[in-house]
């Protein structure tokens, strides 16, 4: 006579549950790893985007034809000031962990944040028509040197 299988035995049920637990645990570990790496990449890209935006503004000012004055670290603060012959002034200021761009024109001030989560003890250094910029955004170091056009 053939045996009749009437369903799942207790032993088979325990094996199925243990196998399912192992599969769910593996999937959870893979997802955790994946999302952690995606978050790290996003933070890194965000830092690169902020630096690129900052550098675009700074380079435009450094290469301007109507530049008449540049000074860094005014009053021992982390800043750099560009003045132009059309009475416009651009300031880059590190304050409260952010780098701000301030455009002053006809006594009207426009202020935007270029970089966030910035850390550095000395960001701007200007001497001999050369501006050095060094800072860290989200544990990623950025630095550059810009040659400023000869000021009349």
Tens digits of per-residue pLDDT, 67-88? 888 888 777 788 889 998 888 9
Single pTM value for the model: 0.67
Query: How many angstroms separate the Cα of 142 from the Cα of each of 82, 132, 135, 136?
Result: 21, 11, 6, 6
The rounded distance, in Å, linking the Cα atoms of 72 and 84 is 15
Q: Which of 16-20, 52-56, 125-129 has the lowest mean pLDDT?
A: 125-129
- Are 114 and 120 within 8 A, CB to CB? no
- Are 126 and 133 within 8 A, CB to CB? no
Q: Quick one: tokens of 57?
A: 């503004």
Higher pLDDT pick, 29 / 152 = 29
Q: Which ranges in the chain belong to alpha helices (H)?
A: 10-62
Q: Which residues pair with 109 in a beta bridge?
A: 104
Element holding 130 (H helix, E strand) = strand 130-137
Give residue for tokens 């989560």.
Answer: 117
**What value does the mean pLDDT take over residues 19-28?**
95
The rounded distance, in Å, linking the Cα atoms of 52 and 75 is 27
Query: How many angstroms separate the Cα of 17 from the Cα of each of 12, 22, 23?
Result: 9, 9, 10
Give residue for tokens 């982390």.
Answer: 78
pLDDT tens, position by position, 1-15: 566 666 777 888 899
């Amino acid at each position: 006579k053939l045996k009749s299988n009437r369903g799942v035995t207790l032993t088979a049920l325990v094996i199925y549950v243990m196998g399912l637990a192992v599969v769910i645990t593996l999937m959870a570990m893979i997802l955790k790893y994946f999302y952690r790496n995606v978050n790290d990449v996003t933070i890194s890209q965000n830092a690169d985007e902020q630096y690129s935006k900052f550098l675009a503004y700074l380079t435009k000012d450094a290469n301007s034809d109507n530049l008449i004055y540049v000074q860094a670290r005014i009053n021992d603060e982390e800043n750099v000031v560009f003045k132009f012959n059309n009475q416009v002034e651009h300031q880059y200021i590190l304050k409260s962990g952010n780098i701000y761009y301030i455009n002053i024109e006809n006594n009207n001030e426009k202020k935007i944040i270029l970089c966030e989560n910035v850390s550095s003890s000395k960001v701007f250094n200007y001497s001999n028509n050369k501006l050095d910029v060094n800072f860290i955004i989200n544990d990623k170091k950025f630095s550059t040197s810009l040659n400023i056009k000869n000021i009349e």
